[in-house]
Structure 1
Amino acid sequence: QLYGPTNFAPVVNHVARSAAMVLDGSQYFVLLIITDGVISDMAQTKEAIVNAAKLPMSIIIVGVGQAEFDGKIWGLGG
């Protein structure tokens, strides 16, 4: 059984670094995160998403299971 904090910022930053290396339009990155827990590093995750906003990438977060997913991160706008 998996447990522990649910930190998304490290994986968002990892994919963003890859996307930042390919700005010629030849590649597009899709990060799909499937989680059964609420985001533990919300401030860092929001910052990572904002920093990645102009890169050739999309981020999809899907919440599954019994945890309460209240949509706080969707307040980013865009």
Structure 2
Amino acid sequence: MKYIFEFILATIIIFFVWNILKRLFFNAFYKNFPALNPKNQQQSEQTNSKKMPNQKVKWDAETVDYEEVKEEKKH
């Protein structure tokens, strides 16, 4: 019984210590990782948008300004 209690207590302590260490060092370790760097993602999106400019455009009826033009009848 004593060993089970020690095992459970040690598991809980290790779990919390692991989460604290992961929270502290995760950002520092992956800060310069190229796949997760948001600056690199923005640059790749800009190069893709230069190749296909209309692919990223999402039109909405509220965002487009327009005027109705009345046609004049010429006799």
**Normalising by the residue count of structure 2, what TM-score does the alignment of the two structures yield?**
0.27
* Higher helix fraction (1 or 2): 2
Instruction: Give the TM-score normalised by structure 1.
Output: 0.27
Structure of higher CA gyration radius: 2
